[in-house]
Copies of this chain bind each other. A is one copy, B any other.
Amino acid sequence: MSAPLIHRLATSDADFTAKLDHLLAFEAETDAAIESAVASILADVRKRGDEAVLDYTRKFDRVEAGSMAALEIGRAELDAALAAIPAEVRAALEAAAERVREYHAIQLDKTAGSFQYHDADGTLLGQKVTPLDRVGLYVPGGKAAYPSSILMDAVPARVAGVGELIMVTPTPGGVRNDTVLAAAAIAGVDRVFAIGGAQAVGALAYGTATVPKVDKIVGPGNAYVAEAKRRVFGVCGIDMIAGPSEILVICDGDTAAIPQLADWVAIDLFSQAEHDELAQAILLTPSAAFADEVEAAIARLLPTMPRREIIATSLRNRGAIVVVRDLEEAAAVANRVAPEHMEVSVADPHALLPLLKHAGAIFLGRYTSESLGDYCAGPNHVLPTSGTARFSSPLGVYDFIKRSSLIDVSAAGAQKLGRIASTLAHSEGLTAHARAAELRLKDEG
């Protein structure tokens, strides 16, 4: 008997919770060798600036450049790339960018939130929203280069009003990816440097003579990039440290409504599994018969996939088909998983929505394949992974703005508030705090 293609579980199993926890367990290993290599690269870039970046680029990317200026990819080259890519790809990138722009403009309107109001004493209170001055965008090079991610990182920054967008992307062997450069042109990136790795993160965080210091670094990268971002956090902001991609599909298995439903679900599971052998794809269904159909569809369709080796490993090690008692129980299990992507392929997905609490993005209905969201529906495809959807959000315009509180206390307000502040400051033993309030009282100094 061959090894199963994918785990089969049922919530009625006595040890279901333990099995699920075991399947979900994932911890990014902290590799001491990577930690120490990154620490030393960052310290060197901080100290020697451009020269250090040039040295590491020579060493790791095999790119000989006489100066950092030679590693800047200018506007003319971006425009040339835009002209060089197939018209169909350019049109698709532009259409995707436009939809992402539209969604994030609405998001900005709903979440940026400058406000001011006066209380009864005439004191003004409020919140001032300011876009970040300058953001760095890390774009992986080589095989893991996804032009769609440039749109997802850069367009919301632009919509939020970020002053300047600096992109870095390694070009191993000096090979520049036209689709990546075209996406940068479409997304409105201001400057592009052909550098990568921990040295590029250091250049953005500390600034060099050529690379400007940024306020925040966003975008995914390999283990060196992730560790470098973790280390510079505080010197500048970072987005998230992403783990392997995940999908969880809740499906009622109603093949009377959609005869090819098992194929759709199987392919949706594949579309996450093909990213990475560590990716996770889980199906929850109340129908044991449908579970069998999906397993059969997996067996039938897997050989047709160019990335079948990756998909097979991912499904075998980390994938699962779980038979649940009903859709309410499916929602409870889904919340426990808190997946990056949650697909709800049921007759009335909006009826289930109030029960769904924890997910990066929720894909509702039969036609909403996760891949539509990945590329062009409009919402961001940079999403919390590894259960962090319990407490974090998709990348959004709110990641590219920050708030300052505003307080303008009237002379009348200072009388009332001053007494409260004085009482509390004395109770905490902070006399200067108390005196600062008391000096503004009319019957005092």
Contacts and interface: CB of A to CB of B under 8 A. Distances in A.
Interface of A: 28, 86, 88-89, 91-93, 95-96, 99, 102-103, 106-107, 110-115, 117, 119, 123-125, 127-128, 130, 132-133, 143, 146-148, 179, 215-216, 234, 236-237, 241, 260, 263-264, 267-268, 270-271, 273-275, 305-307, 311, 342, 349-350, 353, 356-380, 383-384, 386, 388-394, 396, 398, 402-411, 413-414, 417-421, 423-425, 427-437, 439-440, 445
Contact of A376 (B111, B234, B361, B417): B417
A117 B99 CA distance: 13
Contacts of A369: 409, 414, 418, 421, 436-437, 439-440
A393 B403 contact: yes
Contacts of A28: 234
A167 to B, nearest CB: 18
A361 B432 contact: no
B430 A274 contact: yes
A4 to B, nearest CB: 20
A96 B424 contact: yes
B110 A358 contact: no
**In this complex, which of A236, A263, A420 has the most chain B Cβ atoms within 10 angstroms of its Cβ?**
A420
A371 B409 contact: no
Contacts of A358: 130, 404
Contact of A124 (B364, B414, B424): B364
A124 to B, nearest CB: 7
Contacts of A386: 234
Given A363-B407, A377-B417, A424-B93, A307 B431 contact: yes
A271 B111 contact: no
A423 B18 CA distance: 41
A91 B421 CA distance: 11
A167 B82 CA distance: 55
Give the interface SS of chain A, mostly helix, strand, loop or mixed.
mixed
A367 B413 contact: yes
Contacts of A234: 28, 241, 386, 388
A295 to B, nearest CB: 17
B421 A374 contact: yes
A376 B431 contact: no
Given A403-B396, A404-B361, A420-B95, A377 B130 contact: no
A239 B54 CA distance: 36
The 5 lowest CB-CB distance pairs between A and B, nearest first, are A379-B405, A110-B113, A237-B391, A111-B113, A364-B408
A92 B419 CA distance: 8
A216 B431 contact: no
Nearest to A130: B357
B364 A420 contact: no
Nearest to A268: B436
A411 B416 CA distance: 60
A361 B405 contact: yes
A424 B130 contact: no
Of A127, A133, A274, A439, the most chain B CB neighbours within 10 A belong to A127
B349 A424 contact: no
